[in-house]
Amino acid sequence: MKPRQFPRRSLVVRSLRYFATLLPLALLAIGCKHKSSEETSQGSSTLSAPSTAPSSSSPSKPTTNASPRLLETARPSGPIDFVDVTAQAGIRFKHNTGAFGKKYLPETMGSGVCIIDYDNDGWPDIFFVNSMDWPEHKSAKSYPALYHNNHDGTFTDVTRQAGLAIESYGLGCAVGDYDNDGYDDLYLTTVGSNHLFHNLGNGKFADVTAKAGVASPGFSASAVWFDYDNDGKLDLFVTHYIDWSVDKDQYCSLDNKNKSYCTPQTYKGESSHLYHNNGNGVFEDVTKKAGLFDPTSKALGVALIDYDNDGWMDLFVSNDTEPNKLYRNNHDGTFTDVAVNAGVAFSDSGRVRAGMGTDAGDFDDSGFSSLVIGNFTNESMSLYKNDGSGLFTDESMRSGLGQVTVQSLTFGCFFLDYDLDGRLDIVAANGHVSDDIAVVQPTLRYAQPMGIYRNIGNLRFENVSGKLGSAIQKPVVGRGLAYADFDNDGDLDLVITSNNGPARLLRNDNANQNDVVRVKLIGTKSNRDGIGAKVTLTTNTGVALVRMVKGGSSYLSQSELPLTFGLGKPGNATSAQLQIVWPAGRKDVIKGVKPNVFLTIQEGRGIVSAVPIDFVASGALAR
Ligand SMILES: [Ca+2]
Ligand SMILES: [Ca+2]
Ligand SMILES: [Ca+2]
Ligand SMILES: [Ca+2]
């Protein structure tokens, strides 16, 4: 295990941390016994249980669940600031669209970013999708990039040694352990043939697309791993956008002089695909059998949702200028589109919008998952509140979100409790599709700032984009967006990609002055990633937060799999109970959870590792 380094921190803070680390260790022996009696068990286990769980599962710090109170002396204070640490972190990824003046439509769509802890060291790594030069205008090769997290605020480009230096016209990615071997695998969507990269567990990936049968040729966009038939094996849903090729490329112009990027109305749609995991490394295309074949759709985003809380994964698919789809899982391998009746297919005025990225989350603590969608300029973002009866209401305008997103063209977006107050906020990556938009619509811009909208309760959101540091306000041609706690300091950092431009890593400073519980799940009967598992955290003050482990969401991207529960100011909640409902049906209950800990919980066994959150980590990183 590589020792962690804490450069440029004051001696006082260092000493405090030293004692804070030692003392819980000393208390561990006493703590363990006490804890085990507090943890109930339908299968929940104790901290002293022998760890057969992969070594892998949690950050490489001492294993203890002792009270982290002592660490509070070193907690940060001050306003939350998202600091651009891209350069210091050593991230140099730049997206190449291959654009050379012909304005081929795919050029303006990419690209995505996925969080994958590919080496299971508990520190999130980053995979950037790249496109490439068009064959008719080839100047250089361009590859996706895998960046390994060095645990000290820096990353190393390991693309070549990982076997991922493969050229493709890439758009998106999805992460999931499809063979349940404990190592997350990687799916790459493209214009052309997609790729499935099997994680070999030794830092390398093997392209197993041909055997798996998941090339899904055409114009793919977002994808998601999920277990629609609850057999413990992750299946794969791949959205497809439009029927486009260089030969079919159409001419469009905004100013009647120069070619512009066409809108999707110019092209026919292309059906998305569902692949069933047969368990032997082979997948079966079950699109038609499942009732999902639909060549009229122009899908860009997909969110996993169990909108009716029946324990079976439904899918929400955002369509660009076509009605959105809400595919209800019928429990028999088939789905039914209920979007129109549920009220999520169209805008309130009955119009189709330009659905791009999307996410599902319980932003109103109702116990039901609602939806957020990124749309075109002058359409506002959609915020569909799940009423719990199978119906959704678009709260975009009443919530205040609609008014502040009317000028934005939003791609990546998701619910995220950026300030750890327990309420899910909304983060959006914005950027226009037309590089010449300001010529014909002078109020609009190609590059646009990100949006962060704070959930202030009572179904209201406040635009705080101007209050969280200058990095958030920098205009970029935003596309992919993902979050992870890259520095393991308890709060959630952001990574955003820009079309034909550099990706950026934005470190969240100071949100971890609020308390937090982070949870990573390991399925045994259920899929190993625990995708689809629902965790309810109930505090001793009676607050209940529900979060689901999920892939997909956002746009062409995927965030980290661990769940984050913001608890607000220290002292608000001193203890919590976790209830985990696994996709296979089992419930595990864990009592007596103290704030500021990263728990790894295995299906049927309970806690297999508990690591205190190191609040000062961010102070050590790339400063
Ligand atoms: Ca795997
Ligand atoms: Ca399955
Ligand atoms: Ca919040
Ligand atoms: Ca962090």
Distance from residue 561's CA to the centre of ligand 2 (Å):
18
| Cis check: omega of the bond before 382, within 30 degrees of 0 | no
Distance from residue 227's CA to the centre of ligand 2 (Å):
4
Distance from residue 563's CA to the centre of ligand 4 (Å):
13
Counting ligands in written order, the one closest to the CA of 511 is 4
Distance from residue 386's CA to the centre of ligand 1 (Å):
34
Question: For residue 364, what are the CA distances in angstroms to 436, 451, 464, 531, 547?
Answer: 39, 20, 19, 22, 12
For 399, counting Cβ atoms within 10 Å of its Cβ (0-12 exposed, 13-18 middle, 19+ buried), the class is buried
* Distance in angstroms between the alpha carbons of the first and the last residue of the chain: 24
Backbone angles phi, psi at 618, to 5 degrees: -65, -30
Hey, how many other C-beta atoms are within 10 angstroms of the C-beta on 169? 25
DSSP code at position 267: S
DSSP code at position 353: -
Counting ligands in written order, the one closest to the CA of 116 is 1
Counting ligands in written order, the one closest to the CA of 180 is 1
Cβ atoms of 578 and 589 within 8 Å: the answer is yes
Cβ atoms of 439 and 491 within 8 Å: the answer is no
Residue with structure tokens 């309760």? 457
Q: What is the pLDDT, as a whole number, of residue 27?
A: 37
Residue with structure tokens 């300001």? 438
Distance from residue 75's CA to the centre of ligand 3 (Å):
19
Q: What is the pLDDT, as a whole number, of residue 438?
A: 87
Distance from residue 615's CA to the centre of ligand 4 (Å):
9
Give pLDDT tens digits for 4-23: 333 333 333 333 343 343 33
Closest CA to 81 of 415, 470, 417, 621: 470
Distance from residue 456's CA to the centre of ligand 3 (Å):
8
pTM: 0.90
Cβ atoms of 416 and 372 within 8 Å: the answer is no
Q: What is the pLDDT, as a whole number, of residue 474?
A: 97
Give pLDDT tens digits for 425-452: 999 999 999 888 888 888 889 999 999 9
Distance from residue 253's CA to the centre of ligand 3 (Å):
42
Distance from residue 234's CA to the centre of ligand 2 (Å):
5
Distance from residue 344's CA to the centre of ligand 4 (Å):
34
Q: Which two tokens stand for residue 622?
A: 């790339």
Residues in CB range of 289: below 8 A, 6 or more apart: 333, 334
Distance from residue 186's CA to the centre of ligand 2 (Å):
17
Counting ligands in written order, the one closest to the CA of 212 is 1
Question: For residue 163, what are the CA distances in angstroms to 150, 167, 210?
Answer: 19, 11, 16
Residue with structure tokens 């499809």? 178
DSSP H or E segment with residue 38: helix 11-38
DSSP code at position 558: B
Distance from residue 59's CA to the centre of ligand 4 (Å):
13
Ion ligand 1: residues, CB < 5 A: 177, 179, 181, 183, 185, 199
d(Cα 405, Cα 346) in Å, to the nearest integer? 17
Cβ atoms of 306 and 312 within 8 Å: the answer is yes
DSSP code at position 260: B
Counting ligands in written order, the one closest to the CA of 275 is 2
Distance from residue 265's CA to the centre of ligand 3 (Å):
37
Counting ligands in written order, the one closest to the CA of 584 is 2
Give pLDDT tens digits for 368-425: 999 999 999 889 999 999 999 999 999 999 999 999 999 999 999 999 999 999 999 9
Residues in CB range of 483: below 8 A, 6 or more apart: 115, 414, 416, 427, 492, 493, 494, 495, 559, 560
Backbone angles phi, psi at 25, to 5 degrees: -60, -45
Residues of the chain falling short of pLDDT 50: 1-58, 60-72, 618-623
Closest CA to 307 of 275, 334, 343: 343
Q: With helix as H, strand as E and coil as C, how does 270-281 read?
A: CCCEEEEECCCC
Counting ligands in written order, the one closest to the CA of 187 is 1
Counting ligands in written order, the one closest to the CA of 198 is 1
Counting ligands in written order, the one closest to the CA of 233 is 2
Tell me if residue 380 falls in helix, strand or coil: coil
Counting ligands in written order, the one closest to the CA of 422 is 3
Question: Strand 125-128 to strand 145-149: parallel, antiparallel, or no bridges (unpaired)?
Answer: antiparallel
Q: What is the pLDDT, as a whole number, of residue 215?
A: 98
For 389, counting Cβ atoms within 10 Å of its Cβ (0-12 exposed, 13-18 middle, 19+ buried), the class is exposed
Q: What is the pLDDT, as a whole number, of residue 617?
A: 58
DSSP code at position 146: E
For 588, counting Cβ atoms within 10 Å of its Cβ (0-12 exposed, 13-18 middle, 19+ buried), the class is buried
Q: What is the pLDDT, as a whole number, of residue 348?
A: 83
d(Cα 578, Cα 43) in Å, to the nearest integer? 13
Q: Which two tokens stand for residue 194?
A: 């997609």
Residue with structure tokens 């060549």? 295
Counting ligands in written order, the one closest to the CA of 183 is 1
Hey, how many other C-beta atoms are within 10 angstroms of the C-beta on 618? 27
Distance from residue 301's CA to the centre of ligand 4 (Å):
26
Phi-psi region of 397 (alpha: psi -120 to 50; beta: other; left: phi over 0): alpha
